[in-house]
Amino acid sequence: MNMIQAINSAMDVMMDRDPTVVVMGEDVGFFGGVFRATAGLQAKHGKNRVFDTPITECGIIGVAVGMGAYGLRPVPEIQFADYIYPALDQLVSEAARLRYRSAGEFIAPMTVRSPFGGGIFGGQTHSQSPEGIFTHCSGIKTVIPSTPYDAKGLLIAAIEDNDPTIFFEPKRIYNGPFDGHYDTPAKSWAGHADAQVPAGYYRIPLGKARIAREGQALTILCYGTMVHVVENVVAAHGVDAEIIDLRSLVPLDIDTIEQSVRKTGRCLIVHEATRTSGFGAELLAQVQERCFYHLEAPIERVTGFDTPYPHSLEWAYFPGPVRIREAINKIMKD
């Protein structure tokens, strides 16, 4: 399966297993979603369980909060992560706080799916990476897969979870892994080991990172599309790096991170979101606090810039192979 098919399969499996799971969002029903991630679900499960909503992100999430409080497990889709901002009040003030302020009487077991990130010439309103906003808000879990296999297992775990989860899907790798070289032919997931996705039920626990590549000289922390870009750079330049795919930002598998950095003594953090207050800043702080006496060089970050995502200069903004290689060279030289 590619990532779209894996995500579709996860929802289909959960709707078969649990009659309280419902899918909702703009164009998710008859049309099957702008990226076709919900294709065929309405025809199989009916219009009462897979239904289109008005174009109102605040309303979509507000209704989902009420559904969760009354025993359903809604899976709302925000068509692009850039449009999630109108729903922030419902997500932060209601969904994230419901369990706490009701002393556990009510919960908000909702999984908000949304394509995020750049690499498809979407410009400033279809390319943003707002994950850092949600990691700041206690009560919300934030999950980002990097492979079809992980996408299905993590989405199932998120749907089963009793807390609200933001499930960001890196749209640049929906159909195949991306090595960061935009001017080379696109690759497919076909034949890729991580595209071997079981048709049935399985889950990947939230809060457990994946070691995408073992190494001894450098730890690289990344997630989503950047996992594949980093893997390509490391392979191309023969760097003995350990690449950790975080999978979920909250909860964070800090134990795996700490063990790796204590072993390698060096750490590079890579993400596509803007630099200031990006999740990389939290990762840097955590590594510095826990591994200071094991570090042999300053921690480096390669990120997007503190600007709107530019359309005409997309590949200057994108943390590509050149900037990652320069950061690796700097760390290894220190």
Interval 275-311: pLDDT, tens: 999 999 999 999 999 999 999 999 999 999 999 999 9
Q: What residue ranges do the domains of the chain occupy?
A: 3-195, 210-332
Token match 């078969």: residue? 16
Helical segments of 265-313, H only: 279-291
What per-residue confidence (pLDDT) applies to 289? 98
- Count of alpha carbons within 13 Å of 186, Cβ hemisphere only? 10
> Quick check: 334 pLDDT over 90?
no
pLDDT of 119-178, one tens digit each? 999 999 999 999 999 999 999 999 999 999 999 999 999 999 999 999 999 999 999 999
> 3-195 and 210-332 share one CATH topology?
yes
Task: Give the predicted TM-score (pTM) of the model.
Answer: 0.97
Q: 215: closest CA among 259, 276, 274?
A: 259
Tell me, letter by letter, the H, E, C secondary structure of 22-48: EEEECCCCCCCCCCCCCCCHHHHHCCC
Query: Is 126 an active-site residue?
Result: yes
**Residue in 126, 271, 294, 311 annotated catalytic:** 126
Identify which of 223, 269, 229, 264 has the alpha carbon closest to the alpha carbon of residue 246: 223
CATH of domain 210-332: 3.40.50.920
218-234 pLDDT, tens per residue?
Answer: 999 999 999 999 999 99
| 3.40.50.970, 3.40.50.300, 1.10.10.10, 2.60.120.10: CATH of 3-195 | 3.40.50.970
